[in-house]
Structures are given as C-alpha cells and as structure tokens.
Amino acid sequence: SKGGILAMIDIENIVFTAVSNAVKAEYPKAAIYGDYVEAPADFPCVCISEDDNYSYGLTQDNALEDNNVGVMYSVNIFTSNQVGKKTEAKKIAKIVDSVLLGFKMSRTALLPVPNADTTIYRITGRYTAVIGRYGDGNYQMYR
C-alpha cells in the first residue's frame, strides 16, 4: 500500500471523460453528470456513475491491494423534446454504448424507464467488466 492507503483500482474518471467527450462531440449542449440526477434541469442529460467496484475473486495480494476488480456502471439518459425525444435518447444511448463496449464492458441492460415527469423520456443502461491491474497505472478490461 502507498502511504498506508490501500490501492483500489479506480478508472471512473477515465470512463466518465470518454463518455462525456463522445456525447459532447454530437450534442455540445448536453448536460453530463458523474452521478444520478433525479430531476435534470437541462436536456439532453446523461448521468454515468460507477455503482459497484468489488474485489474480484481471490486476486488480492498480501499487501491487500486489488489486482482485479469487478465494476458496474449505470447510465441514465434523459430527453425532453416535444417531438423525437425517444429517437434522441436512443441516438445518445448508441454513442454511450459504443464507448463502453470499446472499453470491453458488457451491456447487461438498456431499457426505457418510466419517468415521474412524463414529458421526459428516459433510458437506463447497465454495464459490467472486470479490470486487471498491470504495472503502475496500467489496466486491462475483460468482458
């Protein structure tokens, strides 16, 4: 451990930045959040968060550092156009999907979810992967 702090594998910022950049390239005014937002003020809106990060199997070493972790990411896409909000949400979902599958994640869910405010269309996705640590700051992802 470095300075008494266990070294957990954490690539959330890398994933967030890649998704944010890809969505903003097509939708420059999109609001992108690194956590779930119950009532977004701006649309379209994408919330991406790492909802789980756990030691994978028996791969901790004697220093109690993770060599592999299982992760789960959640994505919520909100749109509110009068016409075409479902189409827009699906287009954004394809962008996000391309980025996360490019990270070798597996999509475990991608479905419309009823929203409390029915003028807003929402799609929720879940993605999982196993991340292995190789060297200082280098990672490999597995489906």
The highest-confidence range among 57-66, 105-114, 127-136, by mean pLDDT, is: 105-114
Cα-Cα end-to-end distance for the chain: 27
Q: Residue type for 70, please?
A: G
Please name which of 93, 113, 111, 102 lies closest in space to residue 44, comparing C-alpha atoms: 93
More confident residue, 51 or 39: 51
Confidence class for position 58, pLDDT limits 50, 70, 90: confident
User: What 3-state DSSP class applies to 59?
Assistant: coil
DSSP-derived secondary structure letter, 55: E
